Amino acid sequence: MFKNRVVEKALDELSSRTVIKPDTVRSVHCLIDLNILNEPNLNAYIEDLFEIKKNKIMTVYYAPRQTKELASYSPLFSNRHLHWDGTLIHPMKKKVVSKKCDLLFNFFMKDNRTLQSISSHIKADFRVGYATVDHRLNDLMLGNENNSAEKFFSTFSNFFFKISTE
């Protein structure tokens, strides 16, 4: 119950921030729920779309439980990383939330307190995700029919580049 209040407060703070659509995208974070998107070439879409280097893309993974099959995904957050008091506890938390990015992709379709907490802690100028999650998390929301990386980035690029920055 207490962690719900803490996450709700972070989401409220997120919704009151000033949205900034970057003129040029130099850094990207991706928060991926491995239950819905498990495509190894995700970075290739981002590199092609924005012409940025692989080292400017940070990918953060989520799975409800850590298993041996998921050992290759790093950093990998799970439900146990959201402490009872609402704080995130993970050895790589500082690395994930300390760097500001131009764009954050939230690749998850269902509300989940751990994912909401991770996303709300990432400092991003512009946020993109699915319309099926809490609307405070994303500035541009896409329908859940865009469930593959190819469809997602195709739809995203149609809208993102038409948004005026003035």
Please report, for the chain, the start and end positions of each structural domain, with discontinuous segments joined by +.
2-154
13 exposed, middle or buried (CB, 10 Å; 0-12, 13-18, 19+)?
exposed
Distant-in-sequence, close-in-space partners of 39: CB < 8 Å, separation ≥ 6: 148, 149
Pick the CATH number of 2-154 from 3.40.50, 1.10.760, 1.20.1070, 1.10.238: 3.40.50
Would the pTM of this model clear 0.85, i.e. be above it? yes
Determine the pLDDT at residue 105: 95
**Per-residue pLDDT at 76 exceeds 80:** yes
- As a whole number of angstroms, the distance between CA 29 and CA 152 comes to 15
Asked if residue 154 has pLDDT above 80, the reply is yes
Write down the pLDDT at residue 40. Answer: 64
The rounded distance, in Å, linking the Cα atoms of 6 and 116 is 11
For residue 16, give Cα distances in angstroms to 51, 60, 124, 139.
31, 24, 14, 12
CA 108 – CA 16 distance, rounded (Å): 22
